[in-house]
Amino acid sequence: MAVKTRFYCQECGHVSPRWLGRCPDCGAWNSLVEEKLSPAPKSAPASGGTPVQPVTAVPGVREERFPTGLAELDRVLGGGVVPASLVLLGGDPGIGKSTLLLQMAHLMSAGQKPVLYVSGEESVSQVRMRAGRLGAGNPLLYLLAETDVERIAACVESLRPALVVVDSIQTIHRADLGSAPGSVGQVRECGARLMRLAKEGGAAVFLVGHVTKEGQLAGPRVLEHMVDTVLYFEGERHQSYRILRAVKNRFGSTNEIGVFEMQHCGLVEVPNPSALFTMHQRTAPVAGAAVVSALEGTRPLLVEIQALVSPTGFGMPRRMAAGVDYNRVALIMAVLEKRVGLHLGSHDAYVSAVGGVRLDEPAADLGVALALASSFRDRPVAEGTVVAGEIGLTGEIRPVSGVDRRVQEASRMGFKQCILPRGNLVQINGSGSLKIAGVETLAQAVELALSR
């Protein structure tokens, strides 16, 4: 009997009966690999099971969570770990994924909860060395170096831990599958087995996932679909700060972020990230810098945006953006040239958000515009000024959400003036000593912020 094979895309999981140079689904080149098809198990006749019932007849269950011991991680998860949940953590190599989960495992085991840490990439002695550096030495923290998913499941069923960490999902395999560990079939089947283990046993399972060179989680997209929460650990290798962000969360918001600092003793929480992302150590304001009051979920952040505008030495001006959307920067520059009269078409422009943070919300538009205008005119933004506002194509400043929390954070950090859309002024309950200025157009904001 001939062995049947299929070709699976390593990037998106697309299935093809023959090899193709380019995946027709995601467009990736040379990503299809051959895998043998295992015979489908015979399905048992349907009997018993859960009967169909109306939603009003299902008894309500109170949401239970247990803290991880890391407040920043609890914030991103939505208040703590939900029992019987499956969480996927991705990030670049060396960013600190294993360190974060080992610290979490230690803190949870210190709360008299048995925790199992499964390592498929390191030996038990190597994990013990890292645990000693992090101060993770609790007897309820169990270590296991294993790559067979069925052996892991047997250990979990005998130990009955409250938390299971699998580092990483790309190293786990099933012996009855002919493909190599990390392939599409292995990742999919091992992920499904660990999901059943979490749902049936009640233990929360954390999976570590590798990322591709594009920054996406490696393996099939079905892995992201079957888990309850997908977390990304972001940061620059040459910087000590790390940002934890949720891109999917069935039990909470996906707008929250957690900020950590990598030190010799492990990851340390940063409870006041506004002080991190703004530069208060300057003795005098400089041209090309503006502080924006951003909102990440329920957390207000003050982030400094820096811009450098200089005449180009080539025929085509160059634009670069780090931490902000490149297309949004190009749009703001066009509005500045058309509505404010700044001739930026013959100038290079470089825009960056301080501290490695990434700003996606439209409220950062006004900060980007003022930083560009400040650098172009070589005039600093008024000292102690913070801004927030979305810019339209006609040059209007549109209202933003959560303005009261933005204002309170700026007042707490000691700023003197806050430039906001005029439509948000009625939503402010109190600003303390902070002066509030409302603007309707971008031209008004530029003149107000750059006036001496």
Query: Cα separation of 121 and 242, whole Å?
Result: 23
DSSP state of 78: T
Q: CA 351 from chain center: how many Å?
A: 21
Annotated binding site: 91-98
Helices and strands, number each (H, E), in the chain: 11, 21
Half-sphere exposure at residue 418, Cβ-oriented, CA atoms within 13 angstroms? 32
Dig out the tokens for 61 from the structure.
Answer: 């269950």
Length of the chain: 452
Annotated binding site for ATP: 91-98
Helices marked H in 169-323? 184-201, 222-226, 273-277
Query: Cα separation of 29 and 9, whole Å?
Result: 9
Dig out the tokens for 64 from the structure.
Answer: 């239970």
Q: Are strands 15-16 and 5-9 parallel, antiparallel or unpaired?
A: antiparallel
CA nearest neighbour of 238 among 64, 377, 49, 95: 95
